[in-house]
A and B are shown apart, each in its own frame.
Chain A
Amino acid sequence: MNIFRSNIKRILRDRTSLLFMVILPVFFISMYFVATSAGLSGLKIGFIDRDQTPLSTGMEAHLASEYVLVEVEEENLSAALLDGEVDYAVIIPEGYTRDILEGNHARVQGYESLDNNVYRPFVIYLESYLEAIQTIGRQSGGNEEVFYQALEAYEEGIFQMTSVQTGNSTLHTERSMGFLIMGILFFSIRSTSLIMKDKKSKVFQRILTSPLHLKQYMLENILCFSLLMLIQIALILVVVAGVFRLPMGPSLINLFLVLFLFGVTSISLGISLVSLGKDQNRMATITTLIATPMLMLGGAFWPRAIMPELLQNIGRFIPVTWAMEGVERVLQGSSITDLWFEVLILIAFSLLFFLLGTWKKEEVVQ
């Protein structure tokens, strides 16, 4: 573990690379999460309450705490939507509260301005909120007192409810996860530039004249970068879930495990790219050329389902796909053992890339 140890030493010493390789990625990715969710609160929401119960007024207050509520009369609603005075309107119909308390399926009406999709995250947010209300209603068995107490508890610790939420509640998080996956992919590959540095300073060639095997050298490097990645992902999750309290699904540990495994896969990919690229510039070009289509096909930028079948099938051969899949399932409450297939595939990709990167090079000197 000599290479591992000395690499850690070198990284800790180099303040700028520490900043660029560890601190900034954590900062940017966390900020992205926070910014995209903060962006939701800039929406102008119209709220029309036909029910006029403690529940519906409570809902208005709840939405008002997160979003800008705009006064709007029902007659002017379509004009307001068209003019962009309102981005999205919610109408609570009469009898809504009664339906909730009776455990019936209760519906609210939503209106959206057609040429505007900024309300998508809001809809997801709203849906999860409504679903929570529905669930609480069903569970309180028609007892109004119990219902309002439970609702209050829910409002106070809204994110603790995420575990009973299913389906769409973390949809918005899933999209942001694409960004996190992208961050992990790029920064993992970037971390392997330390090997590039060794090649440039010729220490790499020198090490290969020593008894140390190329595979061992690469393995120790992978361990070193993985440790960095582990710290980074942990920090990001602590910031977004702990500090900013964004919904991260029922199990943060499982999410962490999937992301970390993908990090290791990306580092292995980086190792195999390093053996191709002759210098840092070439390496940067190759990284972009390889990573971008991977992220597109893997569903990190948009849901895979919207792509033609051919592209979806190609996507199966890309680790990003399986990482996204794993992340989505974890967010929806799957345990890590449910994900054995995704996990296995990511491990297989790591091994494949590692072997590609350490295939016995006959030409060590350029």
Chain B
Amino acid sequence: MVLNVKDLVKRYGEETAIDHLGLSIDEGEIFGLLGPNGAGKTTLINSVLGLTKTESGHMEVLGKKLASNGNGVKKEIGVVPQDLAIYEDLTAYENVDLFASLYGLKGQQKKERVEEALEFVGLADKKKQYPKKFSGGMKRRLNIAMAIVHQPKLVIMDEPTVGIDPQSRNQILESVKTLNQRGITIIYPSHYMEEVEAICTRIAIMDRGRIIARGTKEELKQLIDFEEKGILLVDRPGEGLKTALKAIEELNDVEISQEGVTLTWGKGNQPLTRIMRIVDEQGYQLKGLKIQEPNLENVFLTLTGKTLRD
């Protein structure tokens, strides 16, 4: 097991950031930790890395307690912090080189690994430049290079794609997959459902300091298998329509959204004809009904009653 956390509690004053959390992650995964802002993802990572003190709990990384067996294990971990952590006054090369040294690399081997890491994130041609002049995406990539230069077994990437352009994001996502193919386990906290869905082999959904569900994408989607969602496409739906639709007892939920009206019904219980009749009665022109595939967003919404992004 790469990570094993049991009954972890972390409080900030009155607020419980991690609430009796348990989580285990196996080798070889790209493990997504999906949760909205403030769910406690970063706090969990910081606790595991010993950067913050915890109230109680048991934590093992790569089969060892970090507290007592710190350094041997630390060499095997690469951390990509959520907040950029780079020296603005050292060049890209020097940044990576320094961290290579801190992880014990030396001489020719260090040089090769540094070049390799920079190559890997696509910054080889910018290695002599200072990050001050880098774009957000380039800084993020440098942030990653510094964490993987020592070829760790486990890489923790805390929201590595925040605030960057789609192209850099795709590049980063691809590189995460490549790293994983090389046998590196990746822990990937994120609040981007699309990213987690695209690259993660296993996912835990986190909310208010707890893991509320975990499994593969498919397993998670089955959690909401009892429900289906559809969007009724009509122009400017009003409260009258909503009230009328709510009268249909098969519909579990009716919400007016930007596109139209979002409807939720029990699986196999689609009251299509009655919906169409009500739309007609209320004087709306029905433009279509989009049945939504279940996605992690829906899973999250169903499990917590909240959306991932506010």
Contact = CB atoms under 8 A, between A and B. Distances in A.
Interface of A: 2-3, 6, 9-10, 13-14, 201-203, 205-212, 362-365
What's the interface size class on B, roughly? Answer: 20 to 34
Nearest to B72: A211
Contacts of A203: 85-87
A202 B51 contact: no
Interface in B70-102: 70-71, 74-75, 77, 79, 81, 83-90, 94, 98-99, 101-102
A365 B94 contact: no
Residue of A13, A14, A202 with highest tally of chain B CB at under 10 A: A202
B85 A10 contact: no
14 contacts: A2-B102, A13-B89, A202-B81, A202-B83, A205-B85, A209-B74, A209-B79, A210-B103, A211-B103, A211-B104, A362-B53, A363-B53, A364-B46, A364-B52
A17 to B, nearest CB: 9
Given A201-B87, A203-B85, A205-B85, A210 B52 contact: no
Given A6-B98, A202-B81, A211-B75, A365 B46 contact: yes
Interface of B: 46, 49-53, 70-71, 74-75, 77, 79, 81, 83-90, 94, 98-99, 101-104, 146
Contact of B90 (A10, A209, A211, A364): A10
A206 B78 CA distance: 10
B102 to A, nearest CB: 4
A211 B74 contact: yes
Contacts of A3: 98
A205 B51 contact: yes
Contact of B102 (A13, A202, A211): A211
Nearest to A364: B51
Contacts of A363: 52-53
A211 B104 CA distance: 8
A307 to B, nearest CB: 43
B93 to A, nearest CB: 12
A206 B81 CA distance: 7
A363 B79 CA distance: 18
Closest 6 CB pairs of A and B: A362-B53, A206-B85, A202-B85, A2-B101, A364-B51, A210-B102
A205 B81 contact: yes
B267 to A, nearest CB: 44
A202 B46 CA distance: 13
B74 A10 contact: no
Contact of A365 (B51, B74, B75): B51
A208 B74 CA distance: 10
A105 B225 CA distance: 111
B161 to A, nearest CB: 17
A13 B88 CA distance: 12
Given A9-B90, A10-B89, A205-B51, A212 B102 contact: yes
Given A201-B86, A202-B84, A203-B85, A210 B53 contact: no
Contacts of B71: 211
A211 B75 CA distance: 6
A360 B236 CA distance: 61
Contact of B77 (A9, A14, A208, A209): A209
A10 B46 contact: no
